[in-house]
Amino acid sequence: MSYIVEWYRDLMDNKHDPRTQEWFLVSSPGPVLTIIATYLYFCISAGPRYMKDKKPYDLRNTLIIYNFIQVLLSLYLVHEGLMGGWLYEYSFICQPVDYTYKPSSIRMAHAVYLYFMCKLIELLDTVFFVLRKKDRQISFLHLYHHSLMPVCAWIGVKFFAGGHPTLLGVINSFVHVFMYTYYMLAAFGPQMQKYLWWKKHLTTMQIVQFIIVFSHNIQMLFTSCNFPKPLSFLLTINAGLFIYMFGSFYANNYMKSNVRRELKANGAANGTTSVNGHAISKEMDRGKSD
DSSP string, 162-175: SSTTHHHHHHHHHH
pLDDT of residue 258: 59
Looking at residue 289, its pLDDT comes to 40
Residue 28 three-state SS: coil
Confidence at residue 111, expressed as pLDDT on a 0 to 100 scale: 97
pLDDT at site 216? 93
List, run by run, the mean pLDDT of 10-residue segments along the chain (290 residues): 81 87 93 97 96 93 96 97 92 92 95 97 96 92 93 93 93 96 93 87 92 93 88 91 90 72 54 40 39
Determine contact, residues 120/39, Cβ cutoff 8 Å.
no
Domain boundaries, the chain: 3-259
Quote the Cα angle for 121-131-205, to 5°. Answer: 50
* Amino acid at the residue 284: M
Does residue 142 have an active-site annotation? Answer: no
What gap in Å lies between CA 13 and CA 230, rounded to an integer? 19
pLDDT of residue 278: 39
- Distance (Å, rounded) from C-alpha 253 to C-alpha 276? 20
Q: What is the pLDDT of residue 257?
A: 58
Return the DSSP state at 1.
-
pLDDT of residue 279: 37
Q: Which of 145, 164, 176, 216 is catalytic?
A: 145
